[in-house]
Chains A and B, each alone.
Chain A
Amino acid sequence: MSPRLLRLALPAATGAVMIAAWYGLHFWLDAEMRFLLPTPGQILAAFRDNGSDLARAALNTTEGALLGFGFAASVSFLLAVGLSLSAPVRASLYPYLMILQMTPVIIIAPILVLWVGAGLKSVTVITFLICFFPLVVNTTQGLVSTDRNLVELFAMWRASRWQQLRHLRVPAALPYFFTGLRIAATLAPIGALVGDYTAGSSAGDGGGLGFLAIIYSSQAKYPALFATAATTCVLGFIFTSGVLALSWFALHHWHDSYERSDQ
């Protein structure tokens, strides 16, 4: 079998084994307990029955996730540039960034609802807070990890601080930035979901997947709850693939992490 085919066949086989085990587990349970683990078939049926609700909720969650993710990416990049310029600035701000990261969203959420109201704004802010930290930390690390020899070379040429940043530090930090972006991409849909769960609003069909999860669990619609989880996974995959594509586009022609085939 060709390696390419094997790469497709292996995960497919793993999936088949897992689904078989899933059905096995379902039917091994006592009949009255089987509702705890709906079968993949039942989950598919839930998708069919609740398709329009799930799709609308997924779109709402995507909106919050995209907004929060976008704000986090741009703000963190600018902040990282600021932080990279001086060690005293880094030292004075880092502890507070840590505090921001350590504060649980569950506690921030009700405060946010008071400040900006329940709904998209709160969801965006919560996604922002969750995505922000790995982006700042990675990008700052990248900006201060520039090859010393090259920094000295630029100093030798008398390049200005701005030229050094633009031609040397920022390009060299891009792989770090994309590492942060990848982590943030997996966090963004989860952040939006948690935001929706804790500070979402269903007014005007504005509810997202988190809101749907509350409703389905209160109605004991377990197959639909599993379908909601699967939808969130798909969202995460889409976000991650988007960032991977972006990262490939930005890095593949010069960075060693992408092997070149034309050599």
Chain B
Amino acid sequence: MAPVVKIDQIHKIYDSGDVPVHAVRGVSLEIQQKEFVALMGASGSGKSTLMNMLGCLDRPTRGSYLLDGVDVSLLDKNELADIRNQKLGFVFQGFNLLARTTALENVELPCLYGKTRMSSKKMRERAMYCLDIVGLSNRADHMPNQLSGGQQQRVAIARALVNEPQLLLADEPTGNLDSRTSIEVMGVFQKLNEQGITIVMVTHELDVARYCKRYLILRDGIVVRDEPTQDRSIAEIELAKLKEAETAAKLLAAGSAAA
């Protein structure tokens, strides 16, 4: 099977300031279907630039990028936008949900635009199905301000899934969440990945990266490390451990109160 992502010696040079900034300096990378990749690195390492290029939000200065077999470095702006809508789903650190809009309608949003529009009935079914995947079908008519941070991010994940993308790109998806909610969200990603969805995630937290199957570390615009994750964390197990620890702490507190 062809890789979802195949980039060959891509470079990105920004010319905006006095000195051109060489943000990505020759990265080659293949990501196969069903992979779950963490993209790590300090700020300024080029990971966001690389992510933008993977997301077709920015074009490489040099080098080639095949997304699902299509050479996107040859496409113009409109064609890029179409590819984005068809093949990619995005999840952001800040959720980016519309306030005045229910969870279900937020999930439907990407279907409203772009070239092909489905019927509103099909759209609703599709959105409902995606909410169900992230475990929020019972919250479909809630407004974002009635949902917790973790639930909001799950709605955003459902929204990223609605166009049946080949690749899910997540930019610091747990950056605004506490550690427990982060594990829950990582659990959603792991479940999606088991169902066959390819995921690339930018993160600077090692704890979060351990839930992925493979991790890349960027430094100064090049990949300095590319390995499978050793003793990978599984969200379900981590959550069970957390619960156990909480119960133990409660028992301890109750015990000391009684004594």
A residues with CB within 8 A of B: 147, 149-150, 153-154, 156-160, 163, 167-168, 171-172, 174, 253-256, 260, 263
Contact = CB atoms under 8 A, between A and B. Distances in A.
B125 to A, nearest CB: 20
A159 B82 CA distance: 11
B98 A159 contact: no
Interface string B86-111: 00001010101011110000000110
A225 to B, nearest CB: 46
B239 interface: no
Contacts of B84: 156
A157 B100 contact: no
B98 A150 contact: yes
Interface residues of B, number: 23
A171 B113 contact: no
A118 to B, nearest CB: 44
B96 A150 contact: yes
Nearest to A251: B100
Contact of A172 (B92, B99, B109, B143): B99
Contacts of B143: 253-254
Interface string B109-140: 11011100000000000000000000000000
B43 interface: no
Given A156-B57, A156-B81, A167 B112 contact: yes
A149 to B, nearest CB: 5
Contact of A174 (B81, B85, B100, B110): B100
A157 B110 contact: yes
Given A163-B113, A253-B143, A254-B145, A156 B90 contact: yes
Given A254-B143, A256-B145, A263-B146, A153 B113 contact: no
A173 to B, nearest CB: 11
A226 B138 CA distance: 58
A36 to B, nearest CB: 53
A103 B110 CA distance: 48
Contacts of B146: 260, 263
Contacts of B98: 150, 167-168, 171
